[in-house]
Structure 1
């Protein structure tokens, strides 16, 4: 057998592994885990919406810390971290071999899948590190991390441009997420024919509302990064927790934060619908 045949055989085996039941299960477990994180972040945001509310940070670190305080919390964190690792592996398989759908093999789609694989790998690592006893990892403040990264980037040559462009990319991604949710672009990824009318209505409520809220958070965080670049002030940059808290500083008071928080809970529920009906 020549080297070309061996290479082709290896690629075939890798593709079959990517399309296996195990990979499908990994992806669906990842959606369940993502849903858990977003529901908890939304609930934490609701707690801080009003004076006298819980001061615990409303971000992934806060969600991880919340789980850790529960009975069998460490075990739950190990399960959560492994499930998120499953999401990372599934996204990696999409990057390497393309996902389900007629246009999921395009280079742009595969590049986006690769970026998501890296992101979920980082999330998995941080959660598992926290479960293993590194309390400064998965439970760290997103606000402090954002400010530290911004301060370091601003110190580079052309740092203001780098931070500003990065902020613009995040803000643009947030608007893209929100618009696609409002247009119900997620329909093409779901097995709609397997849903009852009520389930489909629930999917649309959580998908539109949740996606719009999630996109709004990303857009706001990107805007704060742009402000940090323009004013050369790292403290202007905000992680998810401070970004969410900023919604309470609007003229409508805490009610906008309540709306966004409920939207994040809805997006978590939408993730659970994806775990059941997503084309994987």
Structure 2
């Protein structure tokens, strides 16, 4: 039976938002599966580690590149919107205390990050991406350096990265993600340690990136601050770097699995929006 517009309920809108959020988690998972795979491969063979933009370029160059890019643009944009909903509506009930505001600030940064990635995928789709990539974060930082306060912005971002690392480690150690997910008991024994490993690996990249940002802040004159690929290359340069890089690559693959698990099992609650019409 065909439903008219008048017959649609608010729940229909919620279902659409929930589906969009799940698509966003899946898109994030795909990106990190690619980044993790190439990082692991780089540990044992010639090649360079990748960042999230490089992963989008890999998707663009695949056999169904245009179709996949369209899907990625929509899914990443939906994920960015979902992050904003999490911040504004506090759907996970983090509250307005110091800890809650800290978590919501991190979600806001995530919203801008994945929104920028969706924008970058759009430029690839339209054939207008530059060789250097660009991106929202670099543009903001470049502007800050031009205005004379870029060093402090870079220090602030480095502090945010360090805080995010701590949050990821705590979430991994306490398996805090479980209260937001309905993982079937017969799969929990496998998914729980995989998710914990993925979160820990992601934390490591945040720590390294924070260090790179903090130590080099005074030297960035054009906003050319390091990204995830630089953090992975730094890890490769350590003693036994191949081992650390391979483990980090596997960990980022695990983080991709964690994101896909969120797409499937996360409890997504959309609050009622008051009718102001």
- TM-score bin, normalised by smaller chain: 0.7 to 0.9
CA offsets 1:63-115 (integer angstroms, 9 cap, x no match): 11211221111111111111111212222222332214xx2454625554444
- Distance of aligned partners of 1:256 and 1:25 in 2 relative to their CA distance in 1, 3 Å threshold: same
Aligned residues: 253
Unaligned runs of 5+ in 1: 1-15
2:180 counterpart (189, 193, 196): 189
C-alpha displacement of 1:218: 1.1
**Which has the larger displacement, 24-33 or 41-50?**
41-50
Paired position in structure 2 for 1:248: 236
**Which has the larger displacement, 153-162 or 59-68?**
153-162
User: Where in structure 2 are the equivalents of 1:40-189 lying within 5 Å?
Assistant: 40-51=34-45, 53-55=46-48, 57-100=49-92, 103-106=93-96, 108=101, 110-136=104-130, 140=133, 153-154=144-145, 156-189=147-180
Q: Distance in 1 between matches of 2:107 and 2:239?
A: 38
Q: Distance in 1 between matches of 2:104 and 2:209?
A: 25
Secondary structure of the corresponding residue to residue 241 of structure 2? coil
- Root-mean-square deviation (CA, aligned residues, Å) is 2.8
Secondary structure of the corresponding residue to residue 43 of structure 2? coil
Unaligned runs of 5+ in 2: 1-9, 269-277
Q: Do structure 1's residue 24 and structure 2's residue 8 form an aligned pair?
A: no
Counterpart contact for 1:78–1:131, Cα < 8 Å: yes
Q: Which of the pair has the greater relative contact order for Cα pairs under 8 Å at 6+ separation?
A: 2
TM-score, normalised relative to structure 2: 0.81
- Distance of aligned partners of 1:136 and 1:45 in 2 relative to their CA distance in 1, 3 Å threshold: same
TM-score, normalised relative to structure 1: 0.80
